[in-house]
Structure 1
Amino acid sequence: MMGGLSKRLVLFAFFSVVIALLSAQDAFSQANVTLTPINDEIIAMEFAEFELEIKNLEPETHTFSLDFGIAPLWSIISTPAYRIQVKSGETGSFRIFAKARSLIPDQLYSIPFTISYGDKKINRALMIKYGDVVKEPKEYKPTVVIKPEAIELREIDPRETIAFKIHLSNLNVLNMSELSAILFSEGRLIDAHKDFSLAPLERKVILIETSIDPHTKPQRDKVTIALKYQEKIIATFENIEIEVKGYEDIKTEEKTASAFLREKKDITIENNGNYDVRKTYKKEMGFFKRIFTKTEPGHYIIREEGKSFLTWDYSLSPKETFIVSISTSYVSIFVVLVIAGLVVLFYFLLRSPLQCRKNVDVSKKGDTTLIKVKLSIKNRSSSDISNITVKEIIHPLMLVSRESQIGVIEPRKIIKHKTKGTLLEWHIDRLEPFEERLIIYKAATKISIIGEIILKSALARFQYKGKEKSTKSNSYILEV
């Protein structure tokens, strides 16, 4: 018994010297390596467990690789799987698990391995006490390896279900019936769990599905997977990076309400996407319609390809809405047209059926001013007008010519007065509907005059539909 113990002590001392020599070879490496045993005392069917931490002291990022060479007696795995990338100044870590492939002698074992990065190498060894070297019996320690199916950056659509597929390996003979996988993230986007069981040495793939708010803004987050057994966390897998991708979904809804000569459109624009947007909304409208249109909020006009558009600029965060009201009313123009129509109607109803218009032609002959006056007498109704008498008073300073003209109505009376002037009177028996007659006379100034002479309106009296009516012509200012 004493001989066996001495033999083991010698072996332990030998392996310690070997480790010291290996460590001396990497004394000048630019990485700080720490190997910590988690469980280095095992028996058959158990896994030894170690934590390997590597701090990168180089000025650039390096990928560190593990190489266990040929170890025929041992089955060795690591998580992450034999390779890790570490940025300058940061620390990365491996979990290393080792199990005897078959029954092997009870003793201390040294399993050397190499850590490589760039053109440099660091040598280390796992020291495992196997079999009855372990002095006291112990319980099986729950040991499960977690390996997500995809650990690179994942892009997530917040509108869809998010699924995590996780590979699990039970590394010892412990039957675990109350396991729970918990997912959580630093930014609290992910919060899910799933209960399951693992038989001894079983490998299993579980699927955990969860969802987030569809309007979650684009962002990055880091997810951690934790295994809980008997109210304790027994394993974790950290820093699974996810990125919520942005998507745009602008919904426009238009409602129209119409009344007599009025129309109102309410346009609701909603941001159903997951990030802030700045947009422009355009509504085509012609010039005439714009005159009778008001909007809330106010708009500005742009022209594209010969068309005019009412335009609004807006900014919306997710779930926000922008409402445009367009009100068009033709009531005002309708009222104006109705009033104008009534005015025209009353004008035609109330106007005189007999139209009397005066036109004057003026000419000069020496110091004398000559005028030729034309009185147009027209029946502008659809009925006959009879017994028409037209009277014209000529200014006292004017002399009336008595020349007669063929086809022109001659005055029935010519009465002169020293102060009031000359009275001319014509008589027309009858005018048929829309018939027109012309009265012409000539006059001249008696003396040379400087200034103005007013030719007063001619007065016409007539019978229309059994009633006596009268109307006047326009007056005329004669400048001499």
Structure 2
Amino acid sequence: MKKGILLFVLILCLAIPLAFAIDVVVKPIPRNYTIIQDSNQYASYDVLIHNPFSYEDTFELNVRDYTWNVWSSPFADYVGGGVDIPPESNYTAHLFLKPLSRKPLGRYNVPLYVKSKMSGATYTTNLIVDIISGIPPLREYAIGIVASVSMPRSIDPRESAEMTVFVENLYPRNITGLKLVVSSQLIKTETTFDLEPLGKKVLKFPLQFSPNTPPLTDTVKFIFYKDNQSIKQLETHYSIEGYSNVIKKGDELEKGFLRYTRHIQLYNDGNIPTRYKLSIKSNPLQRLFIRTTPSHYIVKNQNGTFMVWDLSLEPKATTDIVVTQNYTPLFWLGVAVLIILLFYLFMRSPLVITKEAKVLEVKDGAISELKVLLHLKNRTKKSLMDIRIADRVPHIATVDKEFDIGTIKPDKIVKDSRGGTLIKWTIPCLEPYEERIISYRIKSRLQVLGGFVLPSAMAKFKTPGGAELKTKSNLGKLFS
């Protein structure tokens, strides 16, 4: 029994501090708690409310001292039935206080009640308001200043800018050693100055940022200190602009044997990623021999045909484009063609025989007689010796033994073992580039309708070096 009681007491002791550990926090933060008597000034507070619970709650704000005019921004925070705060979250209410009638000089503790709708608990804090005289003796004047800030809302980090702070002394009191501390994510500066009675001061701060600063929105806080005590706070915002500027950092041409390599280097001198389109004019012949890294695509317009790259560049990043024109394959192709041509010229027969057939007579729509022409040509600059020509006439035709005047007569006209007739000629010599024509007639034994094909003529000859070569003509084709 005693052990059970001790265990209950122990659990109760642990639960009590835990319950106190998670409680609603109401924290007033003064923005301006000094009011000049008989003026239109008002006090302002930021009231931070922390909901530590795991559920949403509504908190009503109430000042029960009805000698004060109290309102909020937004207006509904104070008179709209309370503010809704999500679980484990903070909310800041902006309250303003002004006496409804003339109050004596002095400090006033204005109670603020914050009530939870869920639990019914009420949390109390005091809003301190000092009412001071507008014309006290010099030694009795408090420190009162007003300040404002002027600076660009948007700043290009590549350009210089300026921030101006305007300060005014509200009272006829000399303020010495007034310190202004300016702080933000990117700006850190401070200065100390004096303010004459009812005097004004303009403080200028040059702003210089690194061009590499990324785009962001920055909050600048201005805190005025007198004797290490904060007497005034201001806040403003500005943005760093994003920009991109793609520049051609390099463009070099490397030359080799029938090979040209162009190295192009692009650089994004900006603070945001960007896309860049690079175009290089080209023609269809060039593109046959061009290779690029990275790959490109073709765009045609009224200005011509272009190789185009769509590039993505990160801030301060470099991209390389390599364009290679390689004509080496074309060169080796030309060399191969030249070798083949030279081989052909070397290996071709120096003697050319062209066979031609002409119809001389047609009977009943059929070829009955025709004339055969053999054109011989020495196409070299050297003489050809001992030229022996043989031509075969098919068995369906006979050779006319009468030959035209001026033509070379055959040495022999004999029967061919394969059927038909074999005609042979001998020419002792053909001078360089000399041409000869041999002709003879044949008559058809049968009526030939349609086409007629004659076998190729053959020739053997000797070159000046003593080599014996042979060649043949084309087929003699004709149609009735």
CA distance in 1, matches of 2:159, 2:229: 32
**What corresponds to 1:193 in structure 2?**
189
Query: Contact 2:404–2:440 (CA<8 Å) still a contact in 1?
Result: no
Q: How does 1:309-348 map to 2 (within 5 A)?
A: 309-348=306-345
Query: Contact 1:399–1:444 (CA<8 Å) still a contact in 2?
Result: yes
Tell me the CA shift for residue 381 of structure 1. 0.8
Tell me the CA shift for residue 223 of structure 1. 2.6
Long gaps (5+) in structure 2? 1-29, 46-70, 77-92, 107-129
The alignment partner of 2:382 has SS state of coil
CA distance in 2, matches of 1:233, 1:127: 18
Q: How does 1:460-475 map to 2 (within 5 A)?
A: 460-475=459-474
**What corresponds to 2:165 in structure 1?**
166
Q: How does 1:1-16 map to 2 (within 5 A)?
A: none
Tell me the CA shift for residue 165 of structure 1. 2.5
Distance 1:204 1:397, change over 3 A: same
**What corresponds to 1:10 in structure 2?**
none
**What corresponds to 1:81 in structure 2?**
none
Q: Render the CA deviation track for 1:271-326: whole Å, top value 9, x for unaligned.
A: 22344433422110011101111222222222222511111223334334443222
**What corresponds to 1:146 in structure 2?**
147
**What corresponds to 1:443 in structure 2?**
442
Which amino acid in the other structure matches residue 443 of structure 1?
Answer: I
Tell me the CA shift for residue 343 of structure 1. 1.1
The worse-fitting range, judged by mean Cα deviation, of 337-346 and 277-286 is: 277-286
**What corresponds to 1:242 in structure 2?**
238
CA distance in 2, matches of 1:229, 1:369: 136
How many residues align? The count is 376
Distance 1:451 1:468, change over 3 A: farther
CA distance in 2, matches of 1:155, 1:248: 16
Tell me the CA shift for residue 397 of structure 1. 3.3
Query: Contact 2:253–2:263 (CA<8 Å) still a contact in 1?
Result: yes
Q: Render the CA deviation track for 1:100-150: whole Å, top value 9, x for unaligned.
A: xxxxxxx9679xxxxxxxxxxxxxxx95358999xxx99x866554333x2
CA distance in 1, matches of 2:323, 2:180: 58
Tell me the CA shift for residue 368 of structure 1. 5.5
**What corresponds to 2:261 in structure 1?**
264
Q: How does 1:302-313 map to 2 (within 5 A)?
A: 302-305=299-302, 307-313=304-310
Tell me the CA shift for residue 55 of structure 1. 4.1
**What corresponds to 2:112 in structure 1?**
none
Moved over 6 A (4+): 92-95, 130-133, 449-454
Distance 1:92 1:354, change over 3 A: farther
Q: Does 1:424 align with 2:423?
A: yes
Distance 1:92 1:433, change over 3 A: farther
**What corresponds to 2:363 in structure 1?**
365
**What corresponds to 2:298 in structure 1?**
301
Normalised to the residue count of structure 2, the TM-score between the two structures is: 0.65
Which amino acid in the other structure matches residue 43 of structure 2?
Answer: E
Query: Contact 1:459–1:470 (CA<8 Å) still a contact in 2?
Result: no
CA distance in 2, matches of 1:56, 1:289: 72
The alignment partner of 2:334 has SS state of helix
Distance 1:230 1:382, change over 3 A: farther
Q: How much identity, in percent, do the aligned residues show? A: 25
**What corresponds to 1:183 in structure 2?**
183
Long gaps (5+) in structure 1? 1-33, 42-48, 60-89, 96-106, 111-125
**What corresponds to 1:283 in structure 2?**
280
Query: Contact 2:35–2:43 (CA<8 Å) still a contact in 1?
Result: no
Tell me the CA shift for residue 56 of structure 1. 5.7
Tell me the CA shift for residue 217 of structure 1. 5.0
The alignment partner of 1:446 has SS state of strand
Query: Contact 1:377–1:437 (CA<8 Å) still a contact in 2?
Result: yes
Distance 1:37 1:225, change over 3 A: closer
Q: How does 1:405-420 map to 2 (within 5 A)?
A: 405-417=404-416, 419-420=418-419
**What corresponds to 1:113 in structure 2?**
none
The alignment partner of 1:196 has SS state of strand
CA distance in 2, matches of 1:299, 1:412: 73
Q: Render the CA deviation track for 1:363-412: whole Å, top value 9, x for unaligned.
A: 75346554432211101111222332212232333311123213322212
Tell me the CA shift for residue 452 of structure 1. 8.8
**What corresponds to 1:80 in structure 2?**
none
Distance 1:304 1:331, change over 3 A: same
Match of 2:43 among 30, 34, 51: 51
Which amino acid in the other structure matches residue 146 of structure 1?
Answer: A
Tell me the CA shift for residue 423 of structure 1. 2.0
